[in-house]
Chains A and B, each alone.
Chain A
Amino acid sequence: MADQVLDVKGLNCPLPILRAKKALKDMPTGATLEVLATDPGAVKDFEAFCRTTGNELVESKVEGRVYRFVIKHAA
């Protein structure tokens, strides 16, 4: 289980990334954030976001119409 869950279903680019960044900012290093999205563009965007910021993308998968990401706060 992730330490915190962020539901951004129905939101479009760039809101899933911006909301995730905002949530991560208040989380301690090593904590995990689970993001639930419906924007298909979020898949590549969360990969790029994590590569650039140094946060770890622990998980990225599709469950039906929902994209599920788990990000470990590193930075």
Chain B
Amino acid sequence: MPNEANAKRMSMIVTKGTLDWAYPPFILATTAAAMGLDVTMFFTFYGLTLLKKKLDLHVSTLGNPAMEMPMFGMHIGMPNIVSAMPGVDAAATAMMKNLIKKKGVASIEELRAMAIEADVKMIACQMTMDLFEYTRDDMIEGPVLGGAATYIETASKSEINLFI
């Protein structure tokens, strides 16, 4: 059970805010919490946008040569010159969301709600809030504001520390 004094701890730094990269932190946080670990997530830079009230996540094929979509019975990647064209990222995002639904993969909204329900602690990086001019009102309720020292204190007491 989380929050028990003898529970193992896991912390992670969440730095990316695209639809694809939002998955690893939320999957690991919810699963670790379900397995009895005490979990803390520190959201910084582009990862901070994952705490916004309304999520509008996208993927980009730009600079992502390993991203291949299953299409027409094969796997198709996207050369950068095509990725830069208007509408390509929107199409890739729509395709990804379609696959997510079809394959029974949870949405990020769903995983985030489950993480909150499981008492996963969330820290929003104060410096990133200032840097990108976000207010507390842009973010969901629950996360506390903190900085590097707040994270390090948690990390120094955790068995697992991840940077994603």
Using a CB–CB cutoff of 8 Å, the interface residues on chain A facing chain B are 10-15, 17-18, 21, 39, 48-49, 52-53, 75
> Which of B31, B105, B106 counts the most A-chain CB atoms under 10 A from its CB?
B31
| B96 within 8 A of partner (CB) | no
In the complex formed, the residue of B with least CB distance to A48 is B35
Mark contacts of B88-118 with chain A using CB atoms, 8 A cut-off: 1 yes-contact digit, 0 otherwise: 0000000000000001111000000010000
How many chain B residues have a CB neighbour from A under 8 Å? Answer: 12
Among B1, B30, B31, B114, which residue has its beta carbon within 8 angstroms of that of A75? B1
Task: Tell me which residues across on chain B come within 8 A of A48, comparing CB atoms.
Answer: 35
Interface contact B104-A18, CB-CB below 8 Å? no
Interface contact B105-A18, CB-CB below 8 Å? no
In the complex formed, the residue of B with least CB distance to A51 is B35
Interface contact B1-A52, CB-CB below 8 Å? no
Interface contact B36-A18, CB-CB below 8 Å? no
11 pairs from A and B in contact (CB 8 Å cutoff): A11-B106, A13-B105, A17-B35, A18-B30, A18-B31, A21-B34, A39-B104, A48-B35, A52-B35, A53-B35, A75-B36
Mark contacts of B9-34 with chain A using CB atoms, 8 A cut-off: 1 yes-contact digit, 0 otherwise: 00000000000000000010011001
Interface contact B34-A10, CB-CB below 8 Å? no
Among A13, A49, A53, which residue has its beta carbon within 8 angstroms of that of B27? A13
Task: Tell me which residues across on chain A come within 8 A of B105, comparing CB atoms.
Answer: 12-13, 15
> How long is the Cα–Cα vector from A12 to B106 in the complex, in angstroms?
7
